[in-house]
Amino acid sequence: RRVVLEYPDFEARKDILAIHAKGKPFDETVNWDLVSKNTVGFSGADLENMLNESAIAAARQNKEKISMKDIDDASLKVKLGAEKRRTQSDDDKLMTAYHEAGHAIVNFVEELDPVSKISIISRGMALGFTLIPPQKDIIHQTKSKLIKQMAMAMGGRAAEEIVFKDITTGASSDISHATNIARDMVVEWGMSDLGPINLGPQIDINDFGKAYMEPSKISDQMQSKVDEEIKKLVNEAHQEAKRVLSKNKKKLEILAKSLVEKESLGQEEFEEIMR
């Protein structure tokens, strides 16, 4: 039976890229190892779509060959959606800049994977983005790293509170992401004070190889404890983000103003500010 990996590893991504690159005129400077490294989490369909989009972009510019930049732009389009030049007021731009700067600074201080790009140019439904591609395929997640990831997710909301003494609706997806991590930590992975107990739906396979799911059976009292543990983890992440940004308020201001001026910053520019 042929098994298709939904999210292929580094070598498998290189093989898939080689297949879909056939017949397309790529520039000789394209670094396929780097392309494979920067597409952790892409499915085979995503990789195919990315190369097709890069070819379309090059054709629109009447270029004879597809460059590395075309591939990078196509990667962003596949991952985050098409670029949208929305009309924003100066206040909106500044708020978006501080929000994204908050994510990036918490990520840097918590020593997670490097930020490759920060932008206040809208893509898809997002007004801005902080791109943090994994440096390698993730096999295991530790509790300490998951908590840092939640703090990074709450960095945008924390920045709004510190700078504007107010909050916006822009953090909704960040809050959802942090909450989902916390819920999995409590319910699935036994990483809370409730102990190493799986409190989620139970999945099993019968004698005929058919999978079935049995809904979780926990008391109202235990469900209340689960909710409290989730809330505690998210609140702790939020407070950690505020602590980091309060300590780095000057850098937060410099980074946000740079984003307003340039709209996008790469890894080197960002890390220079942090240094």
The CA–CA distances, whole Å, from 194 to 132, 140, 214, 215, 262 equal: 32, 21, 21, 20, 47
The sign one gets for the Cα dihedral 139, 143, 144, 145 is: positive
Residue 153 burial class via C-beta count within 10 angstroms: exposed 0-12, middle 13-18, buried 19 and up = buried
Catalytic residue among 28, 64, 100, 111: 100
Three-state DSSP class for residue 64: coil
Q: What angle do CA 143, 144, 149 make, to 5 degrees?
A: 95
Q: What DSSP letter does each residue of 76-143 carry, written as one string?
A: HHHHH--EE-----HHHHHHHHHHHHHHHHHHHHTT-SPP-EEE-SEETTBS-EEE---SS------H
- Catalytic, 100? Answer yes
118 strand-pairing partners: 130, 265
For 31, left (φ over 0), alpha (ψ -120 to 50), or beta?
Answer: beta
The CA–CA distances, whole Å, from 168 to 159, 161, 244 equal: 11, 9, 20
Here the tokens at position 51 are: 């190369």
Tell me which residues are annotated as active site. 100
